[in-house]
Structure 1
Amino acid sequence: MELKEVTYEHIVELSEEANALFEAQDFDGAIKKFKEALEIIPKPKFTWEASAWILTSIGDVYFYLNDYSKAKNYFYDAFNCPGGLNNPYLLLRLGQVLFETHDEEKAKEYLLRAYLLKAGEIFKEEDPKYLKLILAII
Structure 2
Amino acid sequence: MAELNADIHDQISQLGEEGNIRADSGDYTRALGLFGQAWELLPEPKKDWEAATWVLGAIGDISFLNGDYAAARDALRGSLECPDGLGNPFLHLRLGQALFELGEEDAAADELMRAYMAGGDDIYEDDDPKYLAFLRTRADID
Q: CA deviation at 1:100?
A: 0.4
Which residue pairs with 1:8 in the alignment?
9
After TM superposition, the runs of 4+ consecutive aligned structure 1 residues lying more than 3 A away are: none
1:20 counterpart letter in structure 2 = I
Q: CA deviation at 1:118?
A: 1.0
Give the distance between the partners of 1:135 and 1:23, measured in 2 at CA: 30
Give the distance between the partners of 1:56 and 1:121, measured in 2 at CA: 19
Q: CA deviation at 1:92?
A: 0.1
1:1-138 alignment, distance < 5 Å: 1=1, 2-136=3-137, 137=139, 138=141
Q: CA deviation at 1:6?
A: 2.7
Q: CA deviation at 1:5?
A: 2.7
TM-score (norm 2): 0.92
TM-score (norm 1): 0.94
Note the aligned Cα RMSD (angstroms): 1.1
Which residues of structure 2 form unaligned runs of 5+?
none
Aligned with 2:82: secondary structure?
coil
1:90 counterpart letter in structure 2 = L
Q: CA deviation at 1:121?
A: 0.8
Give the distance between the partners of 2:104 and 2:16, measured in 1 at CA: 31
Q: CA deviation at 1:111?
A: 0.5
Give the distance between the partners of 2:125 and 2:83, measured in 1 at CA: 26
Give the distance between the partners of 1:105 and 1:10, measured in 2 at CA: 39
Give the distance between the partners of 1:120 and 1:50, measured in 2 at CA: 27
Give the distance between the partners of 1:23 and 1:7, measured in 2 at CA: 24
1:101-125 deviations in whole A, cap 9, x for unaligned? 0011111111011111112210011
Q: CA deviation at 1:54?
A: 0.4
